[in-house]
Chains A and B, each alone.
Chain A
Amino acid sequence: MQNKAGIGTRTKLMQGNEACALGAIAAGVRFFAGYPITPSTEIAEDLSALLPRVGGKFIQMEDEIASISAVIGASLTGTKSLTATSGPGFSLKQESIGFAAIAEIPCVIVNVMRVGPSTGVPTAPSQADVMQARWGTHGDHPVVVLCPSSVAETYTLIIEAFNISEKWRIPVVFLMDEGIGHMREKIEIPNSDELKIIDRVRPVCNPNDYLPFDADKGDGTVPPMADFGTGYRYHLTGLTHDKTGFPTTQRPEVDALIRRLNSKMDKAKQEVTFIDEVLMDDADIVVFAYGISARAGARAVREARESGISAGLLKTKTLWPFPDEYVEEIASQVKAIIVPEMNMGQLVLEVERAVKGRTKVISLTRVDAEPISPDEILSALKGV
């Protein structure tokens, strides 16, 4: 059975980028704005066809800054909104990502990573935007970063990305890479009633009593969010603001806002940490990997087992907030943690920070535009 968007339970062969588009529709996305860039373009192309079929809208803007800005505007009307890009476009979007963070406007930004810096290698995979995804925009800010390692995972994880973004009123960066984006795999598309979909909490109070940035009545972290055009008539700004949304430079108010915004990272951490443990029960050497490198990691670990090495894989789908307590706990149980990445060694810095010297951390890097091979990881496992 197919519903209007062409989704339903069935097995299909598709690209990661297509799974991203279909997953977004299933998550409830009804607005997309973007600007073409390899290797993310198929997401825009697919959504230009899919969105109007479900009453949603697609627009190709004049650049990436306009795209993320339009996405934030659309989100303010209560619409789940997405943009997708790659390296150079992701750099351009940074200022507005900070706006979404301070004004607490849910949105998801897909970055299908390619080799950088600058134009780099547009057609080859990379994992070198891990730090940029966390710290690309200026100022202390919260942002959740998720990273799928297969086509099927792309579909389900983009739904999580929206759930997190809506619930915490936080921008979520979805880091794919050229390999996952263009890889074709079989996926089982779940039935829409099997999916857990979260929508932002809207105010129920009288509009006269609405304080758009007062989190005290809720959980102390996330205030309810009114849709524009529903009579709540409130103000939003990228300036530090008080509970009414009006700019303030009063030190205690600035302090309270910045601390509350950033507290989302800690409070959400457990809930947004997705880690798959593979052969971890008795493992004494661990491969800690994400995205495309986790695929090589899985094979290397299986092969290491065949040669009698007790290897295990931790595949993290959550890069930020970094699951440091989790890694710290593992550290005390193993001889070494190997971190393969298609960059000069980015997430390994977080692993080292979490491990606090409790075990050996080995960084495996590759920056020649080719994915890390299982053999490279296997020989690292053998070398421990």
Chain B
Amino acid sequence: MAKPITYYLRTDKMPHIWCEGCGHGIVLSAVLRAVDSLGLDKDDVCVVSGIGCASRAPGYLDFDTLHTTHGRALAFATGIKTMKPNLNVLVLTGDGDLAAIGGNHLIHAARRNINLTTICFNNSIYGMTSGQYSPMTPTGKMATTAPYGHIEEPFDLCELVFSAGASFVARGTCYHANPLSKLIAKAIAVNGFSFVEAISQCPTYYGRRNKMRDALVMLDWQKEHAVTKRAASRLSPEELKDKFIIGELGTRTRPEYTERYESIIKAATKETDDNV
């Protein structure tokens, strides 16, 4: 039976800092509904974040929550998970936090296949610092530091994380909030590094500057541009050009890091016992 979302919130810490129309609240509620659907005890969940608007989410959650330094959430989370493997450790992060300053930690956490679930609130921009381009800003778009239009190409984060070794990668959007929540639930249930890219919107600093006047227009954009894998298979490369694929994009079974470490402990303690 579903609990009300407020059960998982520190409602006394509201109102939150997010702007009207910000997509981050939608992503956060998808996370909480996923936690609820799995029936996880609040005491067994730990949420870690970096710095940015997205990374402010943990403060509002009634779990053990850790708001760290810019880009390093996965490294902090690695320490927690390694010493308390039974905790469900979720990392909530922005596209700048995760893919720019934290990019190295991302690929290495995926490579280790440590059982952490990372949810990237991807709004294609640095929201907290008021609109500079991020590694996820599409080519040609405007940002305060790209006043002539952005000349770099963004990552395909799901592809990156899967190639680095993750067990599960998926993409969803704020518009498709229910499927997003289901993807997050699947990710949490995976025993290994799991990653969900949640396409979010920042009307304040990305929308306005890029001719999308409010959140509704941006959500519409998500609806128009997201295609499922199945739908994508029926589209020509030309038709797919400005689309992105949502849903489960990769799963594999690989040994998980903290479980592997247990075998080291077994081997090392056996060796010591033999020597005593």
* Closest CB in chain A relative to B261 CB, distance in Å: 6
Assess the A66–B78 pair: CB atoms within 8 A.
Answer: yes
Q: Which of A4, A65, A231 contacts B269 (CB 8 A)?
A: A4
Q: Mark B1-21, 1 if CB is under 8 A from A, else 0.
A: 000000000100100000000
User: CB within 8 Å of A: which of B25-45?
Assistant: 42-44
Task: For residue B143, give the distance in angstroms from its CB to the closest CB of chain A.
Answer: 25
Contacting A238 at CB < 8 Å: which of B42, B64, B67, B264?
B67
Residues of B contacting A: mostly: helix
- Is B151 in contact with chain A by the CB < 8 A criterion? no
Residue contact A70 to B78, C-beta cutoff 8 Å: yes
**A53 to B64, Cβ gap below 8 A?**
no
Across chains A and B, the number of contacting residue pairs, with CB separation under 8 Å, is: 140
- Report the Cα distance A81→B82, complex, angstroms: 12
A237 near B59 with CB under 8 A, answer yes
Name the contact of B48 in the complex, choosing from A6, A49, A73, A96 (C-beta under 8 A): A73
Chain A residue at minimal CB-CB distance from B111: A62
A55-B269, A69-B76 known; A229 vs B87 contact (CB < 8 Å): yes
Specify which chain B residues have a CB less than 8 angstroms from the CB of A62 in the assembled complex.
104-105, 108
Known: A61-B108, A235-B65. A96 touches B42 (CB 8 A): no
Pick from A31, A65, A229: contact of B75, CB under 8 Å: A65
Q: What residues on B are CB-neighbors of A77 within 8 Å?
A: 79-80, 83-84, 87
A72 touches B59 (CB 8 A): no
Decide: A52 and B79 in contact? CB cutoff 8 A: no
B47's closest neighbor in chain A, by CB? A235
Cross-chain contact B69 with A31 (CB below 8 angstroms): no
For A353, the chain B residues whose CB sits under 8 A away are none
Residues from chain A with Cβ under 8 Å of B87 in the complex: 77, 228-229
Interface flag for A155 (CB, 8 Å): no
- Roughly how many angstroms separate A52 CA and B266 CA in the complex, as a whole number? 8
Most buried by A among B65, B82, B83, B261: B83
**Cα–Cα distance between A238 and B65 once the two chains are bound (Å):** 12
Q: 0/1 per residue, A54-95, Cβ < 8 Å to B?
A: 010101011101110111111111010100000000000001
List B residues 50-83 near A (Cβ within 8 Å): 58-59, 62-69, 72, 75-83
Q: Report if A200 contacts B (CB, 8 A).
A: no
Contact of B105 with A235 in the complex, beta carbons under 8 Å: no
**Distance, CA A239 to CA B261, complexed state (A):** 34
Docked Cα-Cα span, A235 to B77, in Å, equals 14
User: A317 within 8 Å of B by Cβ?
Assistant: no
In contact, A63 and B59 (Cβ under 8 angstroms): no
- B76 lies within 8 A of A73 (CB): yes
Q: What separation, in Å, do the CA atoms of A52 and B262 have in the docked complex?
A: 9
User: When the two chains form their complex, are residues B77 and A52 in contact, meaning their CB atoms are under 8 A apart?
Assistant: no
Q: How many Å from the CB of B108 to the closest CB on chain A?
A: 4
- Alpha-carbon gap, A61 to B72, bound state (A): 12
- The reply to whether B67 and A69 form a contact with Cβ atoms under 8 Å apart is no
Collect the chain A residues with CB atoms within 8 Å of residue B269's CB: 4, 52-53, 55
**Please, which residues of chain B bring their CB within 8 A of the CB of A119?**
none
Interface: B146 (CB within 8 A): no
- A230 CB to closest chain B CB (Å) equals 8
Given contacts A231-B43, A246-B13, contact A73 B79 (CB under 8 A): yes
**Interface residues as binary, B71-111 with A (CB distance below 8 Å gives 1, 0 otherwise):** 01001111111111011000000000000000011001000
CA distance A310 to B50 in the complex (A): 58
Question: Are the CB atoms of B83 and A66 closer together than 8 Å?
Answer: no
What separation, in Å, do the CA atoms of A228 and B63 have in the docked complex? Answer: 9
* A52→B260 CA distance, assembly (Å): 12
A235 vs chain B, min Cβ distance (A)? 5
Judge whether B239 is part of the interface by a CB distance below 8 angstroms: no
Nearest Cβ on chain A to B50's Cβ, whole angstroms = 10
Q: In the bound complex, how far is the Cα of B152 from the Cα of A158, in angstroms?
A: 48
Residue of B nearest to A99 (CB): B69
A69 touches B43 (CB 8 A): no
A233 and B79 CA atoms in complex are apart in Å by 18
List the B side residues contacting A96 at CB < 8 Å: 69, 72
- A160 CB, min distance to chain B CBs, angstroms: 23
B6 to chain A, nearest CB (A): 15
Whether A2 touches B79, Cβ cut-off 8 Å, given contacts A52-B264, A76-B66, is no
Q: Report the separation of the CA atoms of residues A74 and B84 in the bound assembly, to the nearest whole angstrom.
A: 8
3 tightest Cβ-Cβ pairs between the two chains A and B: A73-B79, A70-B79, A69-B75
19 A-B contact pairs sorted by A residue (CB < 8 Å): A31-B79, A52-B269, A53-B268, A61-B108, A62-B104, A66-B108, A69-B68, A69-B69, A69-B76, A69-B79, A74-B79, A76-B80, A77-B87, A228-B64, A231-B43, A233-B62, A234-B65, A238-B67, A239-B67
Q: Assuming A96-B69, A233-B63, what are 12 further A-B pairs, CB within 8 angstroms?
A: A2-B276, A33-B78, A52-B265, A57-B83, A61-B75, A72-B76, A77-B83, A99-B69, A228-B64, A233-B65, A237-B59, A238-B67
Please report A residues at the B interface, Cβ cutoff 8 Å: 2, 4-6, 30-31, 33, 49, 52-53, 55, 57, 59, 61-63, 65-67, 69-77, 79, 81, 95-96, 99, 228-239, 246-247
